[in-house]
Chains A and B, each alone.
Chain A
Amino acid sequence: MSAPGRDTSTGDQARGGGAAVVKSWVGEHRRGVTTLVVAILAVLLPFGVSQYWRATLVFIVVAAIGALGLDVLTGRTGQISLGHAAFLGAGAYTAGYLGGNHHLTAALWIPAAGVVAGLLGAIVGPTALRLRGLYLAIVTIGLVFIAQHVFVNVTAISGGPGGRSLPPPTFGSLDFANGTSIGSLQITRDELYYFLALLLLALGMLYVRNLQRTHLGRGMAAVRERELAAAVLGVHVARTKVTAFVISSAMAGVAGALYASYLGFVVPTQWDLTISIEYVVMIVVGGMASLWGPVLGAVFVIGLPALLQDVSGSLPFLSNGLGGGIISVTDTSTIVFGVLLVVFLLVEPRGVVGLGRRIWEIGMRWRGRRRTPVATAKVGEVSQ
């Protein structure tokens, strides 16, 4: 920087001191600063895009909540579950019943959706104690079918095969349907949903991060990797698994409630295996057992079809339901998801986040710095 032997300390301070101090502080708190920047961008985002994309953003954030939950169960605790759709539906119908039939405030039906779905998770959870891998997968598939059956038949809550409508959230005098305003800034229904979902997602991520740094998170990772060894070491395997189910299904319940409320209308047959598989794609492609993986996965799984739909006019082979085109947006997305699922599972089980870390490490090594490597062992492999 400066020639040796010359005292330039005061010179440095005076010249670029302020910037240097800020730069070093940012360097130390890199993660916090990145999160802050991302948060600011996230809050500003809806104001700069069309209504179509505002709606997509809502779906993305809501899905991210659900994906975060699934990651706790499958990514962190290693329990295969294809039953996520059932918990999403349970949350949705709780919201519909309490908010729609009984006109309760969202401050009640949102948590209630989580509680009800969590209870369902507590009932299903113990099956994971007896069943492993394949059998657990098949039972969770059965859960989806049985849940659909129950949803169709409990017509008072679900509206039967014809479906039911759901109300937008109300918090006291704030009704999402009407939007609101802060000063001269108009905040539409879409944006209100978006911010609410964003807030809940942030809370969820904080919660999961705390789990990660305490013994619960370690216990989950231990159960995922080697259940018997974990038990012998004193990890309460049964409690860990059931807890994972409860947390996962509670988050799914909240996500389902918000999703259904935003859609405004749901039918019992929509809570099907395809949705469960989509959520698995989110966590696999995004990156399991990571905080941002599920979020990135949600961005991709929800964003891709939305993007394809948006550009389907200019891509002649895409049919957007209005005629023309060879392949539908849905089918295209499904094929992409399926292929990526296969590719990521075989090549990079830690998803995009894992890819990102690999690139980072290669970059670091390339620049010649010796860094303490982060845990790069097979984090992504779910061993149950």
Chain B
Amino acid sequence: MKNFAQLLFAGVALGAIYALIALGFTVIYRASRVINFAQGELLVFGALLVSVLVSTAKFPFWLAFVIGALAAGLVGLLFQLGVLRFALGRPDFTIVMLTLGLASVLNAVLDTTYGDYPRANGDPWGSSAVHSAGLAFSWVKIWTIIAALVVLVGFFVFNRYSRYGLAMRSAAIDPEAALAVGIPLRRVYATAWVLAGIVACVGGVFLGGYPSSVQPAVGNIAFLAFPAIILGGIDSTTGAVVGGFVIGVVEELTAGYQPQYASWLGHNFYLVAPYVLMILVLLVRPYGLFGSRPAERL
């Protein structure tokens, strides 16, 4: 049982990161119906930048963090303005492959610029932890959960109560109608991408905390977040967040218990468990647990 609490804590921390990644996906999708397969690369970009600023340029962590988040947001903005803008109304295949293409390019650029070796993420907590009841709660993970909650609450407030939040929601529901009432669609999309970039950076930095590190390969984690958004429903922010936490917990618990109780599922099954879960759910509910069926015109 001691094991369980430890795993649960790790799961919640991981889930917080997944929730952030899922949020990044959902923000863009809700605004413009685009699934940004490059989200993982934005995450890596932000984290790498922070890491380098701290280790090489000796910036204080919090400053590097802010710069990294803004830079990631900027890259996201460039994606939108430079490429995605011209793909409005294109079929799903085109959108999917465009962001995958961007992801590939960004991955190669990061690989070239930073090299494929692990770096420290630059956070000040390192391996320090709080010890209580015989368990260790690492500070990195505690701060991960705090930061994620701050971002999530902040986003929730923004979405609900600010003008841009309302604009984004209307743009998602009906872009033409939104245009008709004067909502600046381009700015709405741009905002979505900037937010997604910032959120990605936050996730990336904390992902790279002890015992992990930051390196380009880490970008693949975004793919692990897909089950989170599918489960939660692609167009539901709450669903994405809930999905994120669920997937994080499922992953840690599976990693902890599966080798003992279901070893026939294979080595490192926890890596694919979210996907298996996702596929099973999709077979029953093709639009996720909370998603809705898009209207099909005859």
**Beyond A133-B92, A135-B282, A341-B97: 15 further Cβ-contacts under 8 Å?**
A80-B93, A137-B35, A137-B96, A142-B275, A145-B223, A228-B296, A229-B298, A284-B97, A328-B111, A331-B108, A338-B102, A341-B100, A346-B83, A381-B90, A382-B94
Residues of B within 8 A of A141 (CB): 223, 226
B279–A142 CB distance below 8 A: yes
The contact of B96 among A131, A133, A326, A331, by CB within 8 Å, is A133
The residue of chain A having its C-beta at the shortest distance from the C-beta of B35 within the complex is A134
Using Cβ atoms and an 8 Å threshold, which residues of chain B touch A381? 90-91, 94
Query: For residues 207 through 241 of chain B, which have their beta carbon under 8 Å from a beta carbon of chain A?
Result: 223, 226-227, 230, 234
A345 shortest CB reach to chain B, Å: 5
Interface check A56, CB cutoff 8 A: no
A380 vs chain B, min Cβ distance (A) = 9
C-alpha spacing A349/B91, complex, angstroms: 11
With a CB–CB cut-off of 8 A, which chain B residues contact A74? 93
With A342-B83, A345-B97 already in contact, the answer to whether A335 and B109 are too (CB < 8 A) is: yes
Contacts of A326 in B (CB 8 A): 112
Q: Does B117 contact A (CB under 8 A)?
A: no
CB <8 Å contact, B279 and A139? yes
State how many residues of chain B have any CB contact under 8 Å with chain A.
Answer: 44
> Which of chain A's residues 108-163 have a Cβ closer than 8 Å to chain B?
127, 130-135, 137-139, 141-142, 145-146, 149-150, 152-153
- Chain A residues positioned under 8 Å from B86 (CB to CB): 346
- With A141-B226, A149-B272 in contact, is A134–B96 under 8 Å at CB? yes
Residue-by-residue, is B253-268 near A (CB-CB < 8 Å gives 1, otherwise 0)?
0000000000000111
The one of A82, A135, A145 in contact with B287, judged by C-beta atoms closer than 8 angstroms, is A135
Residue in B closest to A337 when the chains form the complex, CB atoms: B104
Residues of A with Cβ closer than 8 Å to B?
74, 78, 80, 82, 127, 130-135, 137-139, 141-142, 145-146, 149-150, 152-153, 228-229, 273-274, 277, 280-281, 284, 326-328, 330-332, 334-335, 337-339, 341-342, 345-346, 349, 381-384
Q: Given A335-B108, A381-B90, A145 and B96 touching (CB < 8 A)?
A: no
19 A-B pairs whose Cβ atoms sit less than 8 Å apart in the complex? A130-B283, A133-B92, A134-B234, A137-B93, A142-B272, A273-B223, A277-B104, A328-B112, A334-B104, A337-B101, A338-B108, A342-B105, A345-B87, A345-B90, A346-B83, A346-B98, A349-B94, A381-B90, A383-B91
* Interface assignment of B276: CB less than 8 Å from any CB of chain A: yes
Q: Which 4 A-B pairs have the closest CB atoms?
A: A133-B92, A338-B105, A153-B266, A142-B275
Closest residue of chain B to A383 (Cβ to Cβ) is B91
Q: Is A384's CB under 8 angstroms from B92's CB?
A: yes
Q: Does B271 contact A (CB under 8 A)?
A: yes
Cβ-defined contact, A280 with B279, below 8 A: no
Q: Is B101's CB under 8 angstroms from A145's CB?
A: no
Q: Is B278 an interface residue (CB 8 A)?
A: yes
B80 neighbours in A (Cβ, 8 Å): none
Contact A142 B226 (CB under 8 A): yes
Chain A's nearest CB lies how many Å from the CB of B274? 9
B268 touches A139 (CB 8 A): no
Cβ-defined contact, A338 with B104, below 8 A: yes
How far does the alpha carbon of A146 sit from the alpha carbon of B268 in the complex, in Å? 11
The yes or no answer to B269 lying at the interface (CB within 8 A) is yes
User: Contact: A146 with B275, CB < 8 Å?
Assistant: yes
Interfacial chain B residues near A274, Cβ < 8 Å: 104
Nearest Cβ on chain A to B211's Cβ, whole angstroms: 22
Cross-chain contact of A345 among B94, B104, B287, B296 (Cβ < 8 A): B94
Enumerate chain B residues within 8 angstroms of A138, measured Cβ to Cβ: 35, 226, 230, 278
Most chain A beta-carbon contacts within 10 A, residue among B108, B227, B268: B108
Return the contact of B87 from the options A228, A337, A341, A346 (Cβ within 8 A).
Answer: A346
B121 at the interface (CB under 8 A from A): no
Give CA–CA (A228, B234) in the complex, Å. 24
Say yes or no for B124: interface residue by CB 8 A criterion: no
Which of A134, A273, A332, A381 lies at the interface centre, i.e. has the most chain B CB atoms within 10 A of its CB? A134
